């Protein structure tokens, strides 16, 4: 046991030591010595800088269950946890530390199991806005940060779901924030349901809230502890309507207030710096002048009842303004102004009463008759002055036989006066409560009506001097604590039972004996009452009785002080309180005398009488004895304050017991009321007093730590080896606890949870940390080893390299040395050799010189001899030569002579022969030359001749010309001659000669001509010949060719050729037919063209003189096709039509009968699709000309229809209410006209009506149609309906607007007057349509938002799509509250699908782009804002990984936006994105904070602070240091104005109507599947 306990005290463990100033201080274990039995632990306390030694023995530890070891600090992961129940070491220091940490992080709320601990921030905190309420509405308590609203919400939901009444008990010291909290809770109830309904605060809710200022004005005052301290207890039941099937939400229907123990003494006395009840100061400051005079009011200083505290004002509070507020609140709860002034009159009277001067005259008291204050007071109260004075200064004692009136002394008189004042005031207060209750229950109380009670009651009080009030208060708290303990215990027990674990009932400090001591039979209260009833009753005799009865050893809760005889001690659960007996009796009795009562009852002031009238208590209400002060004989049975209090308390406890209770404990963190300052000692005291520590003690007795199997296994799996890891969490958990704890008493396995004794979790956590540390060390070890090994290897390699280089260097050096030595030797060798050689050479040269000299001498002598010998020889040789030469010359000369003679003879002979030869060769050459010359000449002459012939030919022609000329001349001259001859016979001889000469010339020329002619003939002949030969040649050639060429075409070939040709023809025909068919199809599209070709219209058009209007528009292609078709037709019937005919009039040709047959049904259908110009002109042009009388009839019929109701019914029924809206499908895309046909048909009807002057009819029709549309769209059955009608309404709006423009234009052309009706009606319709459009838009958006809201949090915040960053869904360390929303129903995909589907729907319905954008942008804004707000309120959630996940989700959304062309909508996601970024940013140094503020520039400091304080450090992430949080907090304070926490969800931008576009044509399309006889008639009559 002791070992086990000591196991967790290892070096470095932190433990807590009590300290006077700080409450508890933390020390670190530094030395740990355990020898045999003795245990010695040394701790060092940093903050105090001292060491503490804990010395004990194991046996002692075993005896005390290790209680004398210092309590251990919780693992750091639990620091600042938001539910104290999750602390592993649950003890005072841990609780204090955690609360303190949270408070300094400005988290004022903390859960402690079922209790909410609320620290008073003493500063405005942005936690109570509408948006925060909305955020908490409908959420489970464990989902969001601890908050008042979470408790209120829990109560509210339980009330609805479990159909059980609820109470919320708010307790705490004065100034701890009880009233404030109760107020917020009430506001939450009033707001949270009405937020859904747009009606806002209802009247009931307003009057419920109005009770606060009233109760506070009359029951609150300024005390040293609280400027607005409630001096009474209050239990307010807020009544709710019963939820029904139809209306499942409930609303406040009324309220009921009960008050407890108003502090009466405050009316007559206030300690220094405190004030009386606010109302008096408000009255003094705020009453209007007239009333002020009537009531004799002055400043507060002039009244004794107000000036004792010396402080009449509260800084920051304007009493006059508060007075107005109070008066308004009184009106709100239904108190008339008249009554209000009656109330104020009583208050004034009380003030004056306090000013009555009572003087002492010996033993008697005396009041001056003309005492102004008394006069004023009595006149205000309407009582008789004399009587009043009499019964203040005298008293009457009734004995058995007579009544004795005696004087009272001054003190008694003052007490009497004050009693009267106190009595009246308390009655007034009760009256107010009663009136308020009557008023608040106006709606009538239903049976079984549910309520939530809010109890705002003073907490445990313990002062230096405690009196009757404290006794009562502490008694009440004792009872509440008992209830609380029982409740906690019951819950605990329930859980154990539910989890089916073995447990044995563990005793806890039950305070029943203490309660018995106070309220039991013959308890303190009984004795007090008994004593009070005795006429001689006195405090002293009471205390003696108490001592006698209780100062016995068996009574553990009562103690007699060691000194003095005027006090007693009660050992309350919180602490021991010493009560001073002084005034107990007096305060308990607290009555006015019967005589005084009679005086008051005889007042002339009716209101006063009503106020002090005491009602008979209801018969059933036995527990509540009648009020004090009843006159008459029953005075002996007069109930005392104590018994009244006890009675009401018993009743309260009954009520509370019947309800489900929720607890809020308010704590005042410092006495100076400064913001966010923490004083540990008082807080500790309050924690003890409010029972938080008590509950902790209870749960510690059982199994305080519990966690779900899955969570447990998930966190501690690493404590067992991996081979024991099993997928079943229960098995794994069992394996873990078996291995690690191994003590059956320390844990229990429940059904869904595993339970641990206190401290086991910390132990496990410690093991886990150690295990993690071990793992980390192992990893570090290996990593370090790897690092060092790498370093070593590198160094080794480096060393080797260095060595290598050094050795190389050395070797090189040695080598160099060796080389140098060798070189030196070589040089020496050579030098030496050179020197030796030189000497040798010198010797050798000398030897040679000597030799040579000697040899020279010898040679010289030899040479001399030789020379003389040679000279002799030369002489001999010369001579011998000369003689030989002489002989040779002589013989040679002779020989030459003989030879030359002979040669001369031979040469001469030869020369003769050669000469002859030379002569014959020259002749030959000459002839040769001559011949050549001749050839040249001949060729030249030939050319000349040719030229000549040419010239001759020329000459011939010339001559022929000349001959002709001469002939002519001759004929002329002949004629002349003949004439002349006749005239001048004689003529001259000369002339005759001339004639002869000419004749001769002529003959010559003729001859020449003949010659030339012959020549010509010859030439001709030649030419002929040539031609002939050419012919011959040609023939030959032809022959040759013919022999080679193809033989003549065969017969069969010809046949095949023909067949092919035929085939071609057939094919052509087919083509033509086909073309004709296509042509018909074209005609369907172009109806006019069809008409022109139809059998009836065709010929008419063609033969008619007027050109067909659309003929020019016929395209060339069409013409071509027509021609082709005609040709084909012609071919089909060749017998009847010549080609010429066909070519002449192809258009006229009627199409083949088969084609006609096909065309007729088509034609009738196409008639329905009528597309003509919008303008009237267009309609008229066709109307009278072609249709004639039939159309006129038609028009009449349509006008009749227009006037009929049937049309309207048809429109509303078929086009609106029961319209089968074309659904957007993936296969077919509906065309514009298929979507907009309702708008256009309605538009067409409007146009028709206007044309027929049926404006008013149109107006009423449109009103009904719009109503129908509105009804249809407000049902929100389907998005399609809304989208379809939003689109259609807009289209209709455009159609109507265009029509109006046309009307206006027409009106301008009209001479005057009748601009009116149609246009006005259209304007009205336009206006209504505008509204309808806006309404549909807003209605739909609201509906979409509603659907979207459920999706946002799971999809954007909780959805985890990045696999690497999954964090546990529950977020917290141990999800005690089990299943959080782990089954995240929606993913980001689904959200995007939702949006995509919506976007597609709108696209399919051709919604105006601006509208689509607005809708999508607005939805994205909602996504951004709600996700952001949720993130800001979410607890245990904001981790680094979440940040990454959310960023990813947001980026998905952004992608979606950009891909859908609404990039601007991403702006609305930026805050969320920045919040997510903030989570992922570093948060360790002040610079990081700077960065965070830079990055998150869209978030205000308050939001950043909130996010940072929410930041939850997961494993291995360092938690935020308090210093950083302080820096952030200081920045947040700097910017006061930007302290909104949540973004405004409701602040939607206004709907911007898209600009209207002109509609050129009104489609008259009626879907084939609809039968709309009337509309069709109307529409078809339009052309
Ligand atoms: N939640 C709160 N936020 C801000 N200030 C608070 C809050 N609760 C209490 N206070 C401050 O503390 C003062 C005392 O609160 P009050 O509710 O009157 O205390 P009690 O009723 O417990 O005596 C208030 O006047 C207010 O200034
Ligand atoms: Mg209060």
- Residue 1516 is predicted with a pLDDT of 66
Taken in order 794, 800, 802, 808, the sign of the CA dihedral is negative
* CA distances in angstroms from 63 to 15, 57, 68, 112, 904, listed in the order given: 21, 10, 10, 30, 184
What are 829-848's pLDDT values in tens digits? 999 999 999 999 999 999 99
For residue 785, name the pLDDT band (cuts at 50, 70, 90): very high
- Residue 843 is predicted with a pLDDT of 96
For residue 1108, name the pLDDT band (cuts at 50, 70, 90): very low
Ligand 2 mean position to 450 CA, how many Å? 25
Q: How, if at all, do strands 233-240 and 450-458 pair?
A: antiparallel
Q: Ligand 1 atom 27: the closest Cα is on which residue?
A: 122
- Residue 1100 is predicted with a pLDDT of 41
For residue 1281, name the pLDDT band (cuts at 50, 70, 90): confident
Closest atom of ligand 1 to CA, residue 220:
18
Collect all residues with Cβ–Cβ distance below 8 Å to 1183 and sequence separation of at least 6: 1191, 1583
Rg of the chain in Å (alpha carbons)? 67
Q: Could you say which DSSP state residue 222 is in?
A: -
User: How many other β-carbons are positioned within 10 Å of the β-carbon of residue 761?
Assistant: 28
| Partners of residue 116 on adjacent β-strands | 111, 664
Instruction: Cite the DSSP H helix spans in 677-759.
Output: 680-689, 692-701, 709-716, 729-740
pLDDT cut 90: percent of the chain above it? 25
Cα separation, 434 vs 418, whole angstroms: 24
Cα separation, 545 vs 538, whole angstroms: 11
Closest atom of ligand 1 to CA, residue 108:
1
Q: From 1159, 1166, 1205, select the one nearest 1565 (Cα to Cα).
A: 1166
Residue predicted with more confidence, 1107 or 1504: 1504
Instruction: Find out whether 280 and 306 touch, Cβ atoms under 8 Å.
Output: yes
Ligand 1 and 121: CB distance under 6 A:
yes
Alpha carbons within 13 angstroms on the beta-carbon side of residue 1160 total 6
Instruction: Find out whether 1247 and 1421 touch, Cβ atoms under 8 Å.
Output: no
**What mean pLDDT do residues 701-713 have?**
84
Cα separation, 1443 vs 1357, whole angstroms: 9
Q: Has residue 1271 got a pLDDT over 90?
A: no
Q: Burial of 1221 by CB count in 10 Å (0-12 exposed, 13-18 middle, 19+ buried)?
A: middle
What are 443-482's pLDDT values in tens digits? 666 666 889 999 998 888 888 889 998 999 999 999 998 8
Question: Crossing angle for the helix pair 1501-1510 and 1522-1534, nearest 10 degrees?
Answer: 160
Q: Has residue 210 got a pLDDT over 60?
A: yes
Please give all residues whose CB falls under 5 A of ion ligand 2, grouped by chain where several chains appear.
178-179, 230
Q: Has residue 809 got a pLDDT over 60?
A: yes
Instruction: Find out whether 457 and 170 touch, Cβ atoms under 8 Å.
Output: yes
- Residue 342 is predicted with a pLDDT of 92
Instruction: Find out whether 333 and 211 touch, Cβ atoms under 8 Å.
Output: yes
- Residue 257 is predicted with a pLDDT of 93
Least confident window among 199-213, 580-594, 773-787, 1130-1144:
1130-1144
Q: Ligand 1 atom 8: the closest Cα is on which residue?
A: 177
CA angle (616, 620, 626) in 5-degree steps: 35
Cα separation, 1527 vs 1508, whole angstroms: 11
Q: Ligand 1 atom 9: the closest Cα is on which residue?
A: 177
DSSP symbols for 1495-1517 = HTTTS-HHHHHHHHHH----TTS
What are 1300-1336's pLDDT values in tens digits? 888 888 777 766 555 577 788 888 888 988 888 888 8
Ligand 1 mean position to 525 CA, how many Å? 33
What are 1398-1425's pLDDT values in tens digits? 998 888 888 888 889 899 999 999 999 9
* CA distances in angstroms from 1010 to 968, 1014, 1015, listed in the order given: 19, 6, 8
Phi and psi at 8, nearest 5°, equal -80, -10
- Per-range mean pLDDT, top range of 648-657, 1070-1079, 1157-1166: 648-657
* CA distances in angstroms from 630 to 406, 533, 639, 1222, 1325, listed in the order given: 22, 14, 9, 83, 75
Residue predicted with more confidence, 169 or 491: 169
Active site residue 647: no
Mutate to test the pocket of ligand 1, among 108, 127, 175, 458 (most ligand atoms within 8 A of CB): 175
Instruction: Find out whether 644 and 131 touch, Cβ atoms under 8 Å.
Output: no
Cα separation, 159 vs 603, whole angstroms: 47
- Residue 552 is predicted with a pLDDT of 85
Q: Has residue 698 got a pLDDT over 80?
A: no
Q: Which of 229, 276, 1399, 1509 is catalytic?
A: 229
Residue predicted with more confidence, 324 or 1309: 324
For residue 811, name the pLDDT band (cuts at 50, 70, 90): very high
For the chain, the farthest-separated pair of C-alpha atoms sits apart, in whole angstroms, at 240
Active site residue 532: no
Tell me how long the chain is: 1583
What are 1333-1350's pLDDT values in tens digits? 888 888 888 888 888 888
Q: From 293, 177, 297, 165, select the one nearest 227 (Cα to Cα).
A: 177
Active site residue 1138: no
For residue 201, name the pLDDT band (cuts at 50, 70, 90): low
Query: Average pLDDT of the chain?
Result: 82
Instruction: Find out whether 1075 and 1124 touch, Cβ atoms under 8 Å.
Output: yes
Q: Has residue 788 got a pLDDT over 90?
A: yes
What are 521-542's pLDDT values in tens digits? 889 999 999 888 887 888 889 9
Active site residue 461: yes
Q: Which of 459, 537, 1142, 1371 is catalytic?
A: 459
What are 268-280's pLDDT values in tens digits? 999 899 999 999 9
Ligand with minimal distance to 228 CA:
1
pLDDT cut 70: percent of the chain above it? 85
- The tokens for 473 are 């208060």
Q: Which of 23, 175, 354, 1443 is catalytic?
A: 175
Residue predicted with more confidence, 1438 or 156: 156
Phi and psi at 35, nearest 5°, equal -125, 120
Place of tokens 């607007």: 1297
Phi and psi at 665, nearest 5°, equal -110, 115
Instruction: Find out whether 414 and 127 touch, Cβ atoms under 8 Å.
Output: no
Provide the 3-class DSSP secondary structure of residue 43: strand
Ligand 1 and 669: CB distance under 6 A:
no
* CA distances in angstroms from 987 to 969, 981, 982, 983, listed in the order given: 19, 7, 9, 9
Residue predicted with more confidence, 19 or 1220: 19
Phi and psi at 51, nearest 5°, equal -110, 145
Ligand 1 mean position to 119 CA, how many Å? 9
Q: From 545, 544, 587, select the one nearest 565 (Cα to Cα).
A: 544
- Residue 636 is predicted with a pLDDT of 45
User: How many other β-carbons are positioned within 10 Å of the β-carbon of residue 11?
Assistant: 11
Cα separation, 83 vs 115, whole angstroms: 9
- Residue 1038 is predicted with a pLDDT of 77
Ligand with minimal distance to 120 CA:
1
Ligand 1 and 120: CB distance under 6 A:
yes
- The tokens for 291 are 């009333």
Residue predicted with more confidence, 1547 or 763: 763
Cα separation, 697 vs 712, whole angstroms: 24
- Residue 1150 is predicted with a pLDDT of 44
For residue 1145, name the pLDDT band (cuts at 50, 70, 90): very low
SS3 content of the chain, % helix, strand, coil (to 5): 65, 10, 30
User: How many other β-carbons are positioned within 10 Å of the β-carbon of residue 533?
Assistant: 16
Active site residue 419: no
**What mean pLDDT do residues 372-396 have?**
90
Ligand 1 mean position to 351 CA, how many Å? 29
Least confident window among 326-330, 386-390, 823-827, 1184-1188:
1184-1188
CA angle (163, 167, 173) in 5-degree steps: 170
Provide the 3-class DSSP secondary structure of residue 1579: helix
Q: Has residue 168 got a pLDDT over 60?
A: yes
For residue 340, name the pLDDT band (cuts at 50, 70, 90): very high
Instruction: Find out whether 514 and 573 touch, Cβ atoms under 8 Å.
Output: yes
* CA distances in angstroms from 780 to 788, 793, 1305, 1516, listed in the order given: 12, 19, 89, 15
What are 905-925's pLDDT values in tens digits? 899 888 888 888 888 777 778
Q: Has residue 1118 got a pLDDT over 60?
A: no
Phi and psi at 944, nearest 5°, equal -60, -45
Instruction: Find out whether 683 and 102 touch, Cβ atoms under 8 Å.
Output: no
> Between the CA atoms of 190, 193, 199 and 203, what dihedral angle is there, to the nearest 10 degrees?
-30
Mutate to test the pocket of ligand 1, among 120, 127, 147, 170 (most ligand atoms within 8 A of CB): 120
What are 1548-1557's pLDDT values in tens digits? 778 888 887 8
Collect all residues with Cβ–Cβ distance below 8 Å to 1496 and sequence separation of at least 6: 1474, 1475, 1477, 1478, 1504
Q: From 676, 263, 683, 270, select the one nearest 458 (Cα to Cα).
A: 263
Mutate to test the pocket of ligand 1, among 175, 176, 180 (most ligand atoms within 8 A of CB): 180
Q: Which of 88, 112, 165, 179 is catalytic?
A: 179
Active site residue 175: yes
- The tokens for 930 are 């001559």
Q: Could you say which DSSP state residue 277 is in?
A: B
User: How many other β-carbons are positioned within 10 Å of the β-carbon of residue 1156?
Assistant: 16
End-to-end alpha carbon distance in the chain: 106
Residue predicted with more confidence, 1054 or 67: 67
């Amino acid at each position: 046991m002791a070992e086990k306990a000591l196991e967790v005290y290892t070096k470095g463990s932190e433990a807590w030591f009590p300290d006077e100033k700080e409450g508890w201080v933390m020390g670190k274990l530094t030395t740990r010595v355990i020898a045999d039995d003795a245990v010695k632990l040394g701790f060092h306390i940093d903050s105090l800088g001292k060491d503490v030694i804990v010395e004990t023995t194991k046996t002692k530890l075993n005896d005390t269950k290790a209680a004398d070891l210092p309590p251990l600090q919780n693992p750091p992961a639990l620091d600042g946890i938001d539910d104290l129940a999750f602390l592993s070491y649950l003890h005072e220091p841990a609780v204090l530390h955690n609360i303190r940490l949270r408070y300094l992080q400005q988290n004022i709320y903390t859960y402690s199991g079922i209790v909410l601990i609320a620290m008073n921030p003493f500063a405005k905190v942005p936690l109570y806005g509408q948006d925060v309420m909305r955020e908490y509405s409908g959420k489970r308590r464990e989902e969001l940060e601890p908050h008042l609203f979470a408790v209120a919400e829990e109560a509210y939901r339980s009330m609805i779901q479990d159909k059980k009444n609820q109470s919320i008990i708010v307790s705490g010291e004065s100034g701890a924030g009880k009233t404030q909290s109760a107020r917020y809770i009430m506001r939450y109830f009033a707001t949270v349901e009405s937020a859904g309904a747009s009606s806002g605060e209802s009247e009931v809710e307003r009057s419920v809230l109005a009770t606060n200022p009233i109760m506070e004005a009359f029951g609150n005052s300024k005390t040293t502890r609280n400027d607005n301290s409630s001096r009474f207890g209050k239990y307010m039941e807020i009544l709710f309507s019963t939820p029904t099937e139809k209306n499942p939400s409930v609303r406040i229907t009324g309220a009921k207030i009960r008050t407890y123990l108003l502090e009466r003494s405050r009316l007559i006395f206030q300690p220094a710096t405190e004030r009386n009840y606010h109302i008096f100061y408000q009255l003094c400051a705020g009453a209007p002048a007239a009333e002020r005079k009537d009531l004799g009011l002055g400043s507060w200083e002039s009244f004794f009842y107000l000036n004792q505290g010396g402080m009449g004002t509260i800084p920051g509070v304007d009493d006059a303004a508060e007075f107005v507020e109070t008066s308004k609140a009184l009106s709100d709860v239904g108190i008339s102004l008249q009554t209000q002034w009656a109330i104020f009159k009583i208050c004034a009277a009380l003030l004056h009463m306090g000013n009555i001067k009572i003087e002492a005259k010996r033993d008697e008291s005396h009041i001056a008759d003309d005492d102004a204050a008394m006069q004023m007071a009595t006149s205000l109260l309407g009582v008789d002055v004399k009587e009043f004075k009499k019964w203040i200064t005298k008293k009457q004692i009734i004995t058995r036989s007579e009544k004795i009136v005696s004087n009272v002394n001054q003190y008694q008189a003052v007490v009497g006066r004050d009693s009267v004042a106190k009595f009246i005031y308390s009655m007034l207060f009760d009256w107010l409560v009663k009136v308020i209750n009557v008023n608040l229950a106006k709606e009538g109380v239903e049976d079984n009506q549910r309520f939530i009670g809010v109890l705002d009651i003073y907490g445990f009080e313990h002062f230096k001097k405690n009196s009757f009030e404290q006794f009562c208060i502490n008694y009440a708290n004792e009872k509440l604590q008992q209830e609380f303990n029982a409740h906690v215990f019951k819950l605990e027990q329930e859980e154990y039972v539910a989890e089916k674990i073995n447990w044995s009932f563990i005793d806890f400090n039950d305070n029943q004996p203490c309660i018995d001591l106070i309220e039991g039979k013959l308890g303190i209260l009984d004795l007090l009452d008994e004593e009070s009833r005795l006429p001689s009753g006195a405090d002293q005799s009471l205390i003696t009785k108490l001592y006698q009865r209780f100062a016995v050893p068996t009574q553990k809760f009562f103690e007699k002080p060691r000194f003095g005889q005027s006090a007693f001690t009660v050992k309350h659960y919180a602490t021991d309180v010493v009560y001073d007996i002084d005034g107990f009796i007096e305060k308990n009795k607290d009555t006015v005398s019967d005589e005084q009562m009679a005086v008051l009852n005889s007042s002339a002031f009716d209101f006063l009488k009503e106020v002090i009238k005491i009602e008979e208590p209801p018969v059933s209400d036995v527990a509540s004895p009648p009020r004090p002060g009843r006159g008459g004989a029953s005075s002996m049975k007069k109930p005392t304050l104590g018994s009244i209090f006890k009675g009401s308390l018993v009743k309260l406890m009954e009520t509370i017991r019947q309800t489900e209770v929720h607890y809020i404990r308010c704590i005042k963190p410092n006495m100076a009321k400064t913001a966010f300052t923490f004083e540990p000692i008082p807080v500790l005291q309050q924690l003890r007093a409010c029972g938080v520590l008590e509950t902790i003690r209870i749960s510690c007795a059982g199994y305080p730590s519990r966690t779900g199997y899955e969570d447990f296994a998930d966190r501690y799996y690493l404590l067992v080896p991996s081979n024991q890891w099993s997928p079943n969490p229960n098995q794994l958990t069992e394996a873990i606890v078996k291995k690690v704890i191994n003590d059956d008493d320390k844990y229990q396995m429940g059904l869904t949870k595993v339970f641990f004794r206190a401290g086991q979790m910390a132990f496990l956590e410690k093991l886990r940390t150690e295990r993690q540390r071990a793992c980390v060390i192992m990893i570090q070890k290996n990593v370090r080893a790897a690092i060092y090994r790498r370093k070593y290897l590198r160094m080794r390699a480096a060393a080797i390299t260095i060595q290598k280089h050094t050795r190389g260097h050395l070797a090189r050096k040695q080598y160099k040395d060796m080389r140098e030595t060798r070189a030196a030797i070589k040089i020496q060798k050579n030098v030496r050799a050179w020197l030796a050689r030189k000497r040798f050479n010198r010797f050798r040269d000398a030897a040679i010189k000597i030799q040579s000299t000697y040899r020279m001498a010898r040679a010289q002598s030899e040479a001399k001899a030789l020379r003389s010998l040679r000279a002799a020889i030369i002489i001999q040789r010369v001579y011998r030569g000369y003689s030989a030469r002489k002989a040779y010359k002589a013989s040679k000369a002779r020989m030459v002579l003989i030879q030359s003679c002979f040669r001369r003879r031979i040469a001469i002979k030869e020369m003769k022969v050669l000469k002859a030869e030379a002569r014959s060769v020259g002749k030959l050459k000459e002839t040769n030359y001559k011949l050549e010359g001749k050839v040249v000449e001949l060729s030249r002459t030939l050319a000349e001749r040719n030229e000549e012939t040419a010239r001759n030919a020329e000459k011939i022609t010339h001559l022929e010309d000349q001959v002709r000329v001469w002939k002519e001349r001759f004929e002329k001259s002949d004629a002349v001659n003949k004439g002349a001859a006749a005239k001048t016979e004689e003529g001259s001889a000369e002339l005759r000669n001339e004639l002869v000469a000419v004749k001769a010339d002529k003959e010559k020329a003729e001859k020449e001509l003949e010659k030339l002619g012959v020549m010509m003939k010859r030439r001709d002949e030649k030419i002929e010949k040539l031609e002939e030969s050419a012919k011959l040649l040609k023939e030959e050639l032809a022959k040759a060719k013919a022999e080679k060429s193809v033989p003549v075409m065969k017969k069969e070939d010809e046949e095949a050729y023909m067949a092919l040709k035929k085939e071609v023809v057939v094919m052509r025909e087919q083509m033509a037919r086909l073309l004709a068919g296509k042509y018909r199809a074209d005609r369907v599209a172009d109806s006019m063209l069809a008409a022109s070709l139809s059998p009836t219209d065709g010929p008419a058009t063609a033969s008619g003189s007027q050109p067909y209007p659309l003929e020019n528009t016929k395209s060339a292609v069409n013409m071509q096709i027509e021609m082709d078709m005609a040709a084909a037709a012609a071919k089909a019937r060749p017998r009847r039509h010549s080609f010429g005919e066909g070519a002449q009039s192809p258009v006229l040709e009627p199409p083949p009968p088969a084609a006609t047959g096909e065309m007729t049904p088509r034609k009738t259908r196409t008639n329905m699709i009528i597309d003509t110009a919008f303008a009237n002109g267009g309609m008229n042009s066709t109307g009278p000309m072609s249709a004639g009388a039939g159309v006129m009839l038609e028009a009449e019929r349509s006008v009749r229809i227009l006037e009929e109701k049937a049309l309207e019914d048809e429109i509303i029924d078929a086009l609106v209410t029961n319209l089968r809206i074309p659904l957007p499908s993936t296969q077919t895309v509906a065309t514009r006209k298929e979507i907009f046909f309702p708008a256009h048909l309605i538009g067409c009807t409007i146009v028709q009506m206007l044309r027929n002057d049926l404006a008013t009819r149109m107006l009423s029709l449109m009103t009904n149609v719009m109503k129908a549309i509105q009804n249809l769209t407000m049902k929100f059955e389907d998005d399609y309906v809304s989208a379809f009608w939003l689109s259609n309404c807009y289209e209709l709006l455009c159609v109507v607007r265009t029509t109006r423009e046309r009307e206006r234009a027409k009106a301008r052309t009209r001479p005057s007057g009748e601009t009116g009706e149609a246009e006005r009606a259209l304007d009205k319709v336009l206006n209504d349509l505008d509204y309808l459009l806006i309404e549909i838009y807003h209605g739909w958006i609201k509906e979409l938002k509603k659907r979207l809201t459920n999706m946002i949090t799971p999809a954007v915040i909780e959805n985890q799509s990045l696999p690497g960053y999954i964090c546990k869904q529950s977020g917290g360390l141990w999800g005690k509250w089990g299943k959080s929303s782990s089954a995240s129903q929606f993913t980001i995909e689904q959200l995007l699908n939702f949006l995509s589907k919506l976007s597609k729907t709108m696209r399919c319905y051709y919604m105006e782009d601006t509208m689509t954008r607005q809708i999508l942008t607005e939805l994205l804004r909602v996504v951004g804002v709600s996700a952001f707000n949720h993130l800001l309120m979410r607890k245990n959630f904001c981790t680094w990984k979440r940040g990454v996940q959310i960023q990813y989700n947001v980026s998905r959304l952004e992608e979606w936006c950009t891909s859908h062309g609404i990039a601007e909508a991403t702006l609305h996601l930026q805050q969320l994105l920045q919040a997510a970024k903030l989570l992922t940013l570093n948060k360790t140094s002040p610079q990081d904070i700077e960065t965070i503020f830079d990055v998150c520039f869209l978030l205000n400091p308050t939001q950043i602070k909130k996010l940072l304080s929410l930041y939850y450090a997961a494993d291995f992430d360092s938690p935020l240091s308090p210093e950083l949080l302080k820096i952030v907090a200081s920045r947040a304070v700097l910017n006061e104005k930007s302290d909104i926490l949540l973004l405004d969800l409701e602040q939607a931008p206004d709907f911007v109507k898209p600009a209207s576009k002109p509609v050129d044509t009104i489609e008259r399309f009626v879907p084939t599947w609809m039968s709309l006889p009337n509309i069709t008639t109307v529409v078809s009559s339009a052309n």
